[in-house]
Structure 1
Amino acid sequence: MTADEPTPAERNLYLSALAGGGRLAPPPTADPAALAGLVGRGLLARTANGCTAVDPRTAGDRLTAELCTEATGLLLRAEHLPEVLAPLTAAYDDAHRPAPAVNGSSRVEGRAGIRQRISELISDCGDELLAAQPGRRPIEGLRMASVQDLALLRRGGAIRTLYQPVALADRAVAGHAALMAGYGSQIRVLHEPYPRMLVFDRTVAVIPDAADGISAVFVHNPATVAFLVSLFERDWARACALDRSAGAPHPTATRIGRLLARGLTQRAIATRLGLSERSVAGHIARLRELHDAETLFQLGWRMRGARDD
């Protein structure tokens, strides 16, 4: 079965079949390519007397199931990829990872270089990430953080993040915070200024080196890192817990998201939960907004790993 949408010629031929009582008698006078396309998509079924129109919902469910199966296979390949690339990753680290400077720190310039170095640190982080994130967060950095932070949480690491109210006023940041909290990340809000920093396993800290954010200092000195950790803990103690009540999804929406992640179609979910398809569609729309997912595939990926009820 093909996965693209019916062409205009195929749509017209299908409507012609419906106008003829749902059947196309042989020999068909239609475009052979359009006929073959409809049969390939499951919208027409060949019979001894020609072709019969098939309910588009049935064909759609079959096609959706095939796409979900293909998507699940791609997700499994994506999860296995880091293990496959592990030897090459280790070789890259040995060849390119910068050594600490004499004073216990190294300076990296440029957003691309900073993100690359932070990505390496998150991949190596085994126990805990402390993140103080005042102000707004760039959307491109937030998307990268979603994938990396989830990977850290899934392998048993802990994340504690401080935000300011102005950051959580951004829908993308609020959605990211809700997603991370759903996977066990601890998030607090501090209504006062504090320095931006990241601390990995309490051994490496990252702080900005310029107000424009295009350079950063990676601190390795144990005494300096310990001092930065003490600043974070002081601010953490004064912060309040994230109020998730306003952004948390309804329990039914959570179940729908988990079933989507398992590959069920919207219609199948409605049948399983005893809901109308319109109700399920409404819950999915709110989940996509909460998790900043543009497609059902993205939503399934971000809900993947949650336990079903």
Structure 2
Amino acid sequence: MGDLLHETYAYAAQRQDVSVEELRQWSELPAAEIDKVVEKLLELHLLTPRAGTVDRLVAVSPAMASAKALLPALRELQTKQREIGEMSALLTDLTPMYEPLMFAGIAAESLQSIPDLAAVRQVITELSTRCQGEVLTSQPGGARPEPVLDEATERTVAMLKRGVVMRTLYHHAAQFSRPTVRHVDMLTSLGAEVRTLSDAFTRLLVFDREVAVIDLRGRRTGALLVRDPSVIDFLVMSFERAWAQGTPFPVSYSRDHVVAVSDDLKRNLLRLFVEGHEDKVIAKRLGISLRTYQRHLSEIMKRMGARNRPHAGYLVHKLRLLERDS
């Protein structure tokens, strides 16, 4: 239609006025086709009826036609833009009102910060009372203080007597703490399972695989209460992986066992040392004091004949290369 529209407009513009019938005769095209072109020119305001006539049409300049054709659309667009602006401003004003409520709801439903030790103990006691099927616990850091063990004893015993299945992970170093050994002996006599591990794992309690308590970052005496199912699944999976690598916690010792535990701890100590971790980090991961870590490292270096730490790292690396090539 483009070329025909241009030609028809040019023909009409060359005359003072023109009728539709004249345009049909001029084009020599089917009447229906030229009628469509005339209708489009009228729609664009490029043709308009001559005042005082019935069938005469007059060409209108494109500038004037543009004003007539586009002005309504421009006015409508301005109205829409104003409505969009008002709506956007309203939504922006309402957002600060909604987000705190939304995040508060999420926190109440899936994550809850518990800032102080007394509140943490109260929550754990309540969860222990409600627990019906299983509790998973991991307690890194080696020996646990006797007051902490005493505080946990009553609720732990109550769960085990109700038939709750309990599995607990400690660091290897906890085996050499008399209060911890007595506590574990009591737990296992009631059916609990306890294992130890030499490498790092997180502090954790999971009740019935529905709610968990983990460390609160930056608050040693605080905790984070977790109810989100996806996070719970991840925590349980992490626990199971660590559990599979653990060994049963012994309440009596043989020389061979002590040697095996010590060797395992020293192997992990040496691995972390060669990887370049700081002394404090290694000691924490192994659940031993910094002084104990330094004593073990000194014994290892002496046994290896290492003059200093860099030399020890070199000797370990060389030994690994020899073992790989042999």
Q: TM-score range by the shorter chain?
A: 0.3 to 0.5
- Point out the structure with the larger helix share: 2
TM-score (norm 2): 0.44
TM-score (norm 1): 0.46
